[in-house]
Amino acid sequence: MDYLSIIDKKRLGKELSKSEITFFFTGYMENKIEDYQVSSMLMAICINGMTFEETLALTDVMLSSGRKLDTSKISGIMVDKHSTGGVGDKTSLIIGPIMSALGCKMGKLSGRGLGITGGTIDKLESIPGFRVALSIEEFIDNVNKIGFAECEQTPEFTPLDKKLYELRSVSGTVSSIPLIASSIMSKKLAVGAEYILIDLKVGEGALIDNKNDAVELAGTMIEIGKSYNKTVIPILTNMSRPLGDSIGNALEVIEAMDILKGKTGILRDLCIELASNLYSRCKKINLDNAKKEVIRVLDSGKAYDKFIEFTKAQGGNIEAIETAPFMIPVKSDKDGTLKDISAAKIGTLATNLGGGRKKKGERINYGVGIVINKHIGDRINKQDILAYLYQNDETDHSAEALEAFSIVK
């Protein structure tokens, strides 16, 4: 058995055995294979796909590359939530505190940005002092004391997935159902929650841009969950438009806090829907009663209090969050009605401003981004401000920004 023959076998569209998958990816974990060779394998998987057995084997080797959380040390019902990623998606920053305020225990392993979709870890790192690297002992302690902890994959948690995740982001191998499913589920299984909510984004601003693929991904994750005796709850949500008004790491943290403090809109409604579904399943109550409880902890400020407790416990200082120094208005060049806002174009713009990565290991600017000032259906007059660009300089990006807004007569 050798690495090149395994790459060639997958290139030809043949099914790999569990031993071949284990041998190849363990070799990468042990630095016996170069990044460019693994990129070839990832591209072959993207093009030719994987059977469920292959996907399950890949999930298992990712999971086995690190330690697993001993959930017996956590008191209460352990739940988890994951979003497949989308432009402006900051739902995890809102739902974690909600579930904690409801008395559930949520521990999350999260990732950095993939393609034009922002990563929760990047958002949390925009909070000065916030520690995204926790030991397993710290993670368990925070979950028990606060009810919510969130950290990146460390050498202890799914380290193989961490390496592959970074490589996928810069090698054009993000949008693959087997790779997405195995990456998500390895992290979820490492934490060991009994109930796992998957917010499966669909649309041009997501990793999955069509409903058929989304349904296939949902089914794959449900079956992986069953293989490990876990309940997976997938919910398909639209990601054709940016989620919320803010896109960019620090800006999204600020908006998440605004939602927890009472801001209304589509983002709050979605978070209520997701949290209600998870709470309903884990507490075995009907959805209407679960929704009432979710709204109660939001309206009372208890969820916001949990967010503050969570960030302080991991060293974060929300008072010190900074946005980029230049706020550049994007003005409409025509009259009409705002018909659409392209999530893909907004996400690309945020990356071009410095808020996302174009190559592995690239540093990002946490304070840059876009704040949308108008909404779908609004009447627009020429020179109205459609959005504000937060930048580190005064470079004119208005033409690129205008392309994201579809205004019709």
What amino acid positions are annotated as catalytic residues?
Answer: 82, 161, 168, 183, 187
Amino acid at 36: Y
Measured CA to CA in angstroms, residue 238 lies from 214, 232, 319 at distances of 11, 19, 32
Amino acid at 180: I
The DSSP letter of residue 197 is: E
Q: How far apart are CA 134 and CA 288, in angstroms?
A: 36
Retrieve residue 347's tokens: 């996400």
Judge residue 303's burial from the number of C-beta atoms within 10 Å of its C-beta, 0-12 exposed, 13-18 middle, 19 or more buried: buried
- Gyration radius of the chain over CA positions: 21
Retrieve residue 215's tokens: 């349904």
Of 31, 33, 32, 5, the C-alpha closest to 19 is: 5
Other CB atoms within 10 Å distance of the CB of residue 406 = 14
Q: Assign 183 to helix, strand or coil.
A: helix
Q: How far apart are CA 183 and CA 114, in angstroms?
A: 12
Q: How far apart are CA 219 and CA 222, in angstroms?
A: 5
